[in-house]
């Protein structure tokens, strides 16, 4: 049973457009929500992260929106670029264990 549900599985966006990836969870013991970016042949790397006491975090073109009551969070990539083409994973950490649960991943393709 997937602890973190991620959608869509794949996404095609035109250059300059907005990419939106959504995640949902049930476990209220999760206390930290990172997003990872993975390029082909590489391991995932941390992109941006949020704690549940904040509703939004922005770093450059990347924004996490967090809705604690709905147990949902999303990644928005503004002005998407071909270099953003990668697989994105949302994740959630279970508190006190530093144990991460990952979503199933979204393969983003930004067309020039």
| Residue 28 or 104 having the CB closest to other proteins | 104
What is 58-106 written as a DSSP string? EETTEEEEEETTTTEEEEEESS--GGG-EEEEEEEEETTTTEEEE---E
Q: Using the rule CB under 8 A, is 42 a contact of other proteins? A: yes
Q: Using the rule CB under 8 A, is 101 a contact of other proteins? A: yes
Number of Cβ within 10 Å of residue 110's Cβ equals 20
Q: Using the rule CB under 8 A, is 29 a contact of other proteins? A: no
Number of Cβ within 10 Å of residue 112's Cβ equals 8
Q: Using the rule CB under 8 A, is 58 a contact of other proteins? A: no
| Residue 26 or 79 having the CB closest to other proteins | 26
- How many residues interact with other proteins (rule CB under 8 A)? 26
Please give the residue ranges that form the binding site for other proteins (CB under 8 A).
2, 6, 9, 32, 34, 36, 41-46, 49, 51, 89, 91, 93, 97-105
């Amino acid at each position: 049973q997937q602890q973190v549900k991620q959608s869509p599985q794949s996404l095609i966006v035109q250059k300059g457009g907005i990419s939106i990836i959504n995640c949902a969870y049930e476990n209220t013991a999760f206390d930290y929500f990172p997003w990872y970016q993975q390029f082909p042949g590489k391991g995932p790397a941390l992109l941006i992260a949020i704690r549940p006491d904040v509703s939004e975090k922005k770093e450059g073109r990347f924004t996490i929106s967090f809705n604690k009551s709905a147990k949902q969070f999303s990644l928005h990539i503004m002005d998407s670029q071909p270099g953003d083409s990668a697989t994105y994973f949302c994740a959630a950490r279970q508190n006190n264990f530093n144990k991460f649960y990952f979503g199933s991943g979204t393969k983003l393709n930004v067309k020039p």
